[in-house]
């Protein structure tokens, strides 16, 4: 068996003020639980004593297994951008625009109930001829709609791991011309600096309702506090 290629593992977090920060950075193997565990344990050892409320990522199974071991109470949210791409790839190109609209009806729905109804409609519409696409969509479906239990103002940040994707887009843009010209250590240092800079330039999470409510354990349903009046009075 050929050794798996190394890559850069990155963890971004958000402060109570909504500022995105680079909190973890390590060379490892994307699908390796051990690599992700080492990174998450290091993050915890450096001061992340309270488990994150939610983690957003793609289908890298090593990450989710490591997260469950290190922060078992953290909620899981899979990235919709990656899921949409994976589902579309299982349809003929001529059908993809229509399928994309049907998928949008799920992840852009105003409420969890509406999203679940749209997902049921998708399954009924395509299951007979495109079973693989339907299975791709419904596999681990409980992790696709977690964002409904968090502030609606934050949904655009929680439905996708694009903030990290943007970081890597900057990294690729800035390093492509020097590929092969740097030592591994120098390359890692450069990527780390680029990650830091790109994270600082990323959009903040909207702070209404404040992230402090999430930290304090306020319960949200379909993006709003369940007892909105009482929370605002406090």
pLDDT in 10s for each residue of the chain, 234 residues = 445 667 778 888 887 777 778 888 888 776 789 989 999 999 999 988 888 999 998 877 789 999 999 999 999 999 999 999 999 999 999 999 999 999 999 999 999 999 999 999 999 999 999 999 999 999 888 899 999 999 998 998 899 866 555 555 555 555 555 555 555 566 566 666 666 665 566 566 666 667 888 888 899 999 999 876 454 444
Q: Specify the 3-state DSSP secondary structure of 20.
A: strand
Neighbours of 195 (CB within 10 A): 20
Q: What are phi and psi of 22, to 5 degrees?
A: -80, 115
User: For residue 182, what are the contacts with CB-CB under 8 A and spacing of at least 6?
Assistant: 190
Question: How many Å apart are CA 22 and CA 26, to the nearest integer?
Answer: 11
Question: How many Å apart are CA 65 and CA 107, to the nearest integer?
Answer: 24
Supply the pLDDT for residue 115: 97
Question: How many Å apart are CA 74 and CA 67, to the nearest integer?
Answer: 8
Supply the pLDDT for residue 233: 46
Hey, CA dihedral for 24, 29, 35, 36, is it positive or negative? positive
Question: How many Å apart are CA 89 and CA 83, to the nearest integer?
Answer: 10
**Spatial CA neighbour of 221 closest among 209, 234, 204:** 209
Question: How many Å apart are CA 74 and CA 9, to the nearest integer?
Answer: 19
Q: Count CA atoms within 13 Å of residue 103 on its CB side.
A: 22
Helix (H) or strand (E) holding 16: none
Q: Which residues pair with 76 in a beta bridge?
A: 55
Supply the pLDDT for residue 1: 43
Question: How many Å apart are CA 229 and CA 226, to the nearest integer?
Answer: 9
């Amino acid at each position: 068996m050929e050794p798996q290629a190394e890559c850069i593992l990155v963890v971004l977090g958000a402060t109570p003020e909504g500022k995105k920060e680079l909190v973890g950075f390590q060379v490892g193997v994307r699908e390796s639980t051990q690599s992700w565990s080492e990174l998450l344990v290091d993050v915890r050892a450096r001061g992340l004593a309270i488990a994150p409320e939610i983690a957003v990522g793609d289908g890298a199974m090593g990450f989710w297994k490591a997260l469950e071991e290190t922060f078992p109470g953290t909620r899981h949210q899979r990235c919709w951008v990656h899921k949409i791409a994976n589902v579309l790839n299982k349809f003929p190109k001529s059908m993809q625009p229509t399928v994309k609209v049907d998928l949008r009806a799920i992840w852009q729905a105003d409420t969890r109930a509406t999203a679940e109804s749209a997902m049921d409609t998708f399954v009924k519409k395509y299951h007979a001829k495109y079973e693989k696409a339907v299975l791709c969509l419904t596999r681990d479906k409980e992790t696709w709609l977690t964002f409904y239990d968090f502030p609606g103002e934050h949904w655009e940040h929680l439905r996708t791991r694009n903030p990290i994707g943007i970081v890597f887009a900057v990294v690729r843009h800035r390093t492509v011309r020097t590929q092969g010209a740097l030592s591994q250590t120098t390359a890692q240092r450069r990527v780390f600096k680029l990650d830091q800079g790109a994270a600082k330039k990323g959009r903040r999470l909207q702070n209404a309702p404040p992230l402090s409510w999430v930290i304090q354990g306020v319960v949200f349903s379909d993006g709003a506090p369940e007892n909105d009046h009482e929370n605002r009075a406090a």
